[in-house]
Structure 1
Amino acid sequence: MALEFAESQRFNPKEIQLFARILCNDISQYPENEISSSGYVLHSLEASLWCFLNSGSYSESVLKAVNLGEDTDTTGAITGGLAGLYYGFEGIPEEWIEVLARKEDIEKLCRKLKDQLMK
């Protein structure tokens, strides 16, 4: 489906080749030892998708990403974003939310964004 979309939008064929592992294959079926989380943008994207697709919760997705090693903050952040979109705020463990640095600032930004979206 993603490949058909890329082709219908006339993506550059060279770019499609770069994304072939994601667009042409089922990334979730790759064994963990074939997943790199080096920080290179395509590796980070592949690793994040792999973690998300091979997990059943927000926390499992993010922990899987961090446990891959290498560029853990990048892979964890991307995976957390994907998992957050899918599982919602309610899917994030409460104990993780409670220990966030600058939690009040984040909540303030969230309220501000919500207010802007509601206009």
Structure 2
Amino acid sequence: MALCLAASLVCRRDFVPYDQLVRYKWWYKHGYMSSTGRCFDIGAATSDSLHEFEHRQQCFATTYKIPIEKLDFLSDAGLLTKFNVKCSSSGVAGNGALMRLAPVPLFFYRHSVHAVEYSGFSGMITHGDQKAYDACRYYGALIVATLQGARKEELLDNEFYEKHSSWFKPVPLVSEIMKIAHGSYKQKGGYDAGIRGKGYIVNALEAALWAFWSEENFEKGALAAVNLGDDTDTTAAIYGQLAGAYYGYGNLPEKWLQHVYAKNFLLGL
């Protein structure tokens, strides 16, 4: 889904949630951008949202007399503003919103406020809870700061949010995400201290930041994230977005890079 999001941003040269949902649907139904050629391991929240998106598309086509075969290729800005792209609901706060996030802050990092807002919006189209929105905003802000040259100690500063509050206005972070921003993940005991890489986005964010905080290079942090257990692949995927931006491509393990799907495509982006 991260590749779908990246492709949308590059192809549309803008943040177009409708197009993002179309590409997620293609992945779900046809394996678009999948490393296996098919959709696998889709979460219930994402699946439900994509079914809702398809239903809304069909209703939209009827209302505005749009041929079905043209429905996935809408470009009329006025028409797109009439489509409700928030296909989830309050209470849906799975980690799927966070694990695909990186293309948004990477694309908009020169414009911090837009990058943070779009990071949150990118999650809400499939995960409608405010906690999902804020987890994506906060993590997006960390990636933006990384790309703008912030040191690791600045990223992990318990006052990072306060020092970058203008990026988040006018909506403050909800208490669960604010607690993480203030350093709740800094637990030397890791798993024994309650850090869990679970499907709930609050747990997932905390676990990914714990792995980034507790280790000094990309490989060790990724292994720490995976070894928490539970939703291992998603925890590592979330960790890898911030850690990859911070450590850089040149510091990724070569033995892992040899197996990266679509590596040349990614380098081209």
The TM-score normalised by the length of structure 2 is: 0.37
Matched length: 107
Query: Could you report, residue by residue, the CA deviation over 1:77-116 in whole angstroms, capped at 9, with x for unpaired residues?
Result: 011111111110011110111123x3xx3312421x2xxx
Amino acid at match of 1:110: L
Alignment RMSD (CA, Å): 2.1
Provide the C-alpha distance between the structure 2 equivalents of 1:80 and 1:109, rounded to a whole number of angstroms: 15
Asked if 1:44 corresponds to 2:201, the answer is: no
Relative CO higher for 1 or 2, CA cutoff 8 Å, sep ≥ 6?
Answer: 1
Which has the greater radius of gyration? 2
**In structure 2, which of residues 175, 179, 183 is the aligned counterpart of residue 21 of structure 1?**
179
Could you tell me how far 1:21 is from its partner in structure 2? 2.6
Provide the C-alpha distance between the structure 2 equivalents of 1:6 and 1:57, rounded to a whole number of angstroms: 28
Cα distance change on mapping 1:109 and 1:58 into 2, 3 Å? closer
Tell me what 1:108 maps to: 265
SS of equivalent to 1:28: coil
Match runs of 1:1-119 below 5 Å:
1-4=159-162, 5-6=164-165, 9-12=169-172, 15-29=173-187, 31-32=189-190, 33=192, 34-100=194-260, 102=261, 105-111=262-268, 113=269
SS of equivalent to 1:29: coil
Could you tell me how far 1:25 is from its partner in structure 2? 3.2
Provide the C-alpha distance between the structure 2 equivalents of 1:36 and 1:79, rounded to a whole number of angstroms: 13
Structure 1: tracts of 5 or more residues without a match: 114-119
SS of equivalent to 2:245: helix
Provide the C-alpha distance between the structure 1 equivalents of 2:160 and 2:238, rounded to a whole number of angstroms: 19
Structure 2: tracts of 5 or more residues without a match: 1-158
Could you tell me how far 1:18 is from its partner in structure 2? 1.7
Residues 187 and 195 of structure 2 are in contact (CA less than 8 Å); yes or no, is this contact kept in structure 1?
no
Amino acid at match of 2:267: C
SS of equivalent to 1:27: coil
Could you tell me how far 1:76 is from its partner in structure 2? 0.5
Provide the C-alpha distance between the structure 2 equivalents of 1:44 and 1:108, rounded to a whole number of angstroms: 28
Amino acid at match of 1:50: W
